[in-house]
Structure 1
Amino acid sequence: MNNIQRLEMETKGIQLDQSELIIYLEENDLQPHQEYNAKSATNKRNIYKSALSVLESIANSPETLKNIKSEELSVSDFATNIQNRIDQLEYKIRMLKTDEQAQYNSNTFFLFDR
């Protein structure tokens, strides 16, 4: 599985053009056709950041909301659900460590540098 396929898996039900997904991935330091590394905390974090970017762009476009909503949900219900998903992703991203942070197994960070 490559990075673009993993992003599509994370944003199931949202059909976007491949060129748009590529831009979201590249903005988050991922190569779209590179193999997805599930063991890399940084890779996983960047996939979540890309998915967050996709959802935020949809949430900021009322016309897109109208086109994506399903028959059972109103636009306001869909907007509420997408905002809840955005909040969940933001929390996941904050909690995930990068590969460098995972090496140290510490919950502290350096605030000042010499």
Structure 2
Amino acid sequence: MNYIQRLKLELQSITLDDTTLTIYLQENNIQSPELDYNPSLFTDKLAILQTTLAILESIANDPQLMKNYTEEGTTVQGFADALRKRIDQLESKIRTLLINNDTNNSTFMLF
């Protein structure tokens, strides 16, 4: 599985062309998206999560998608709420990965 395929797996129903995905991947330090993705490498995992976050933030910046719609008197705001929750989850996961990978952190266990 290459980086583009892995990113599509992470994005699921969000469809973007490969050129757009390549640009996002290159902006997150994956210079050759056609190469194989290695899930055991910290840098690969982090790059995929950061790229996914960047794409979702771009979608969140589209005012057409963020409008409130009313359907039969009911406000439908689910897309924006779900998107915001997913962005928050990704930010948290990225922070956790960075903290867990930091071997020179200044925290210690005090009993």
Range class of TM-score, shorter chain: 0.7 to 0.9
SS at match of 1:32: coil
Tell me the distance in 2 between the aligned counterparts of 1:2 and 1:11: 14
Q: Which residue of 2 aligns with 1:41?
A: 42
State how many pairs are aligned.
97
Q: Check whether the contact 1:6–1:36 (CA below 8 A) recurs between aligned residues.
A: yes
Per-residue CA shift, 1:24-47, capped at 9, x if unaligned?
100000121110011101110110
Cα-to-partner distance string for 1:23-76 (whole Å, 9 max, x where unaligned): 11000001211100111011101100000001000010023x27xxxxxx93x2
The percent identity for this pair of structures is 45
Q: State the AA in 2 paired with 1:91.
A: S
What is the alpha-carbon distance in structure 2 between the residues aligned to residue 106 and residue 44 of structure 1? Answer: 17
Cα displacement (A) at 1:106: 3.6
Equivalent-residue separation in structure 1 for 2:98 and 2:81 (angstroms): 28
RMSD of Structure 2 on Structure 1 (CA) = 2.2
Would you say 1:17 and 2:17 are equivalent positions?
A: yes
Identify the residue that residue 105 of structure 2 maps to in structure 1.
108
Determine if contact 1:41/1:97 at 8 Å carries over to the other structure: no
Runs of 5+ consecutive residues of structure 1 not aligned to the other structure: 67-72, 110-114
User: 2:3, 2:85 → 1: CA distance?
Assistant: 24
| 4+ residue segments displaced more than 4 Å | none
CA distance in 1, matches of 2:104, 2:9: 30
Q: How far apart in 1 are the matches of 2:5 and 2:43?
A: 17
- Which structure ranks higher in relative contact order (CA pairs < 8 Å, sequence separation ≥ 6)? 1
From the two aligned structures, give the one with the greater strand fraction: 2
Name 1:60's counterpart in structure 2: 61
- Tell me the TM-score normalised to structure 2 length: 0.78
**Structure having the larger proportion of residues in helix:** 1
CA deviation profile, 1:59-105 (whole Å, cap 9, x unmatched): 10023x27xxxxxx93x21001000000000000111149xx74xx7
